[in-house]
Each structure stands twice: as C-alpha cells, then as structure tokens.
Amino acid sequence: MGTYISPIAATCSFVDTTASLAKCIDSLTHLPYEPPSLYIDLDGEDPSREGSISIITLLALPDNHTFLIDVYKLNKATFTTTGKEGKTLKDILESPQMPKVFFDVRNDADALFAQFGVALQSVQDIQLMEDASRFTRGSGKRLLSSLAKCVERDALMTFEAKQRWTTVRMRGEELYDPEKGGSYEVFNSRPLMEDILQFCVQDVRYMPFLRSLYWGRLDSDWRTEVEEETMARVQLSQRETYQPHGSERALSPWQGSQHDESWNNYLTCDDDDRIDSSVPWSDRIEDDDRIDCTQWDDRIESDELDRHRDYGDDDFGDWTGIPRPK
C-alpha cells in the first residue's frame, strides 16, 4: 500500500489578533530555506489591485501547520505587527533569502504591492514549473494549467481523498462565486464558515507535493528559465500598466520547439535525475508511487485516468474570467 497525501494539514489556526499574529511571525522566522517552507495563497474579492484581500493562507511545511491570517480584520496591522525579534510579515514576504511558493503569483503580488506596499521577493511559482515540465504537441500556443487541474491530474490521493477534495472545492465555489449563486462576502464573514476555512486550507495543502514533482522534472536550464520568468511576473505585477485580467494571461510564456527539445531530454534521463530527493515529500511518498500509477487503476474510473494523463487540459475560463477561445 502506497503512502498518500493527507487531504488537509495536520493543524490550522485562524490569526485575527496582533498577539496571535506576532506568535505566527515568530514561528516562521527561522524555518529552513531548502526545500521551501512557506506555501501561500490569497483569498478575497478578486485579490488584485482591483479587488481586496480578506485572508492570507500560509502553510508552514516543517510544522505541517496552516495559518489563516485575517487581513480583513487586521488590515495594515497584518504587515506592521512585529514578533519578538522585530520582524514583520512584510519582512518575511520581502526577504530575498526566504523562498515563498505560490501558484500563479501574478495577482497575489499585484494585490500585496498595490494595497499594502509589499514587494515580494524570492518567489517560486508552481504554475510555471508545471508548464515548463509539460509535453507540448507541436509548436502552437499552449494554455497554462490551474491549481485545481494540477491537483486532479498529478496529486497522489486515494479515491476517497479525491472525492473529499472535490466536495470541498465545489462547496467553496458555490459559496463565494457570484456566477454559482455565491458572494465574495463569505471571505469577510466572521466566524469564518467551516466550508470556506477548509477551502482555503485545501488550496495550499497540495502545493508542496506539486512543487517537488514539477521542479524535480526540470533540468538546470529549465530551472533557470522558470526562475527568470517568475521574477518577471512579480516585476510586471508592480507596474502601473499591469492588467490583472485578460485572455493573454492564459498563455504559456514558452511556445514552440524549444520546450519540445527540453522534454525529449527529460524523457531520456534517469528517473533519479527527475526527482529532487532532497524534498521532504521523498520521505512521505514511495518512489514507486511517484512513477508507477498502477495503484490508481483500482480507485479511479477510466475517464478520470484519461484526465490525469491529459497534459493539454486547462481551466481557462475558471481563472481568466472570460470564455475559453474556440
């Protein structure tokens, strides 16, 4: 029996006072840098320069603990409150030494900079890692994948855990998405609804595994490409001309034969070269589970397996806010 990822973090806490925030900051200050310890997501009404941030969800991987930081209540104090060593959350987010992992950092970086003057540094973007590692059929334009699609396709879960994950996602979307009868105000309702809390926690729970998987597939050249493109995303988000919405956001920054050649090189390398064994997930997940998906066959219907293997799928409409192009 293989080892699977737990559907939720072992523990979580809601940070809505400056005292609890100070304790949170103290617990983050000396976490290890390699592999990355911090995995972050923002929720609210369209988090960007055009919307608002209600909650910062932050998974501290070494402690297997998720903090939900109440930006709606704390407002500017979220980034000015100090811990025992005088550090603030802003200091951590702007630290050039401590890596912070996001999935599609663009609008999160935009919201933090435009609304609170936080200029992210040392960012890693799982969306770009996945895109760089993905096989491209031909030289046409390729669309980026959403976090939901990556989890559905690549996260190691039992069938029961996947059902729970899908249920939590659907309940959350029904509560906050206006197009599904919900309202973004649920992120500002206190106490936070249990379904929304689980939705927020779930968004960061699978990020460490996905980061380890995709980063482990890349050779040194592609890792450099991803690092440079991630930095470009953050810098672009801080410009006055940045547009947080639009169809062009769905396109991969890499098109054509260069990616095909890199993938061919990947296919010819040894398995050990593709997997970063320094990442803690190597202690939690057997190598056979990462490479041999036979255990899925007894747990997932055939159509689910087809989606799992379809590297051309995406959630274009879900996260660009516009219809998918024909």
Q: What is the pLDDT of residue 206?
A: 95
Helix axes 220-237, 126-133, angle to 10 degrees: 140
Task: Mention every residue, 6+ apart, whose C-beta is less than 8 A from residue 123.
Answer: 99, 100, 101, 102, 105, 109, 230, 231, 233, 234
Q: What is the pLDDT of residue 140?
A: 52
Identify which of 194, 195, 146 has the alpha carbon closest to the alpha carbon of residue 168: 195
Over residues 28-49, the mean pLDDT reads: 97
- The secondary element (H helix, E strand) that includes residue 43 is strand 38-43
For 259-297, what is each residue's pLDDT tens digit?
545 444 544 444 444 444 344 443 443 333 333 333 333
Over residues 122-133, the mean pLDDT reads: 96
For 142-200, what is each residue's pLDDT tens digit?
799 999 999 999 998 899 999 999 999 999 999 999 999 999 999 999 999 999 999 99
pLDDT of residue 313 exceeding 80, the answer is: no
Q: What is the pLDDT of residue 248?
A: 87
3-state secondary structure of 228: helix
Q: What is the pLDDT of residue 134?
A: 82
If one compares 162 and 137, the residue with the highest pLDDT of the two is 162
Helix axes 126-133, 257-268, angle to 10 degrees: 80
* Angle made by CA atoms 134, 137, 143, in degrees to the nearest 5: 60
pLDDT of residue 105 exceeding 60, the answer is: yes
Q: What is the pLDDT of residue 247?
A: 87
* β-strand pairing of 38-43 with 55-60: antiparallel
The sheet that has 100-102: what strands, in order across it? 11-15, 65-70, 55-60, 38-43, 100-102, 123-125
- The percent of residues above 90 in pLDDT, for the chain, comes to 69
pLDDT band at 30 (very low <50, low <70, confident <90, very high): very high
Q: What is the pLDDT of residue 141?
A: 58
- The percent of residues above 70 in pLDDT, for the chain, comes to 73
Mean of all residue pLDDT scores within the chain: 81
Fold of 11-241+252-310: Nucleotidyltransferase; domain 5 (3.30.420)
pLDDT band at 12 (very low <50, low <70, confident <90, very high): very high
For 202-260, what is each residue's pLDDT tens digit?
999 999 999 999 999 999 999 999 999 999 999 999 999 999 998 889 999 987 545 54
Q: In 22-78, which ranges are E strands?
A: 38-43, 55-60, 65-70
Measured between its terminal Cα atoms, the distance across the chain in Å is 43
pLDDT of residue 298 exceeding 50, the answer is: no
Q: What is the pLDDT of residue 254?
A: 86
Identify which of 51, 58, 47 has the alpha carbon closest to the alpha carbon of residue 14: 58
Per domain, the residue ranges of the chain are 11-241+252-310
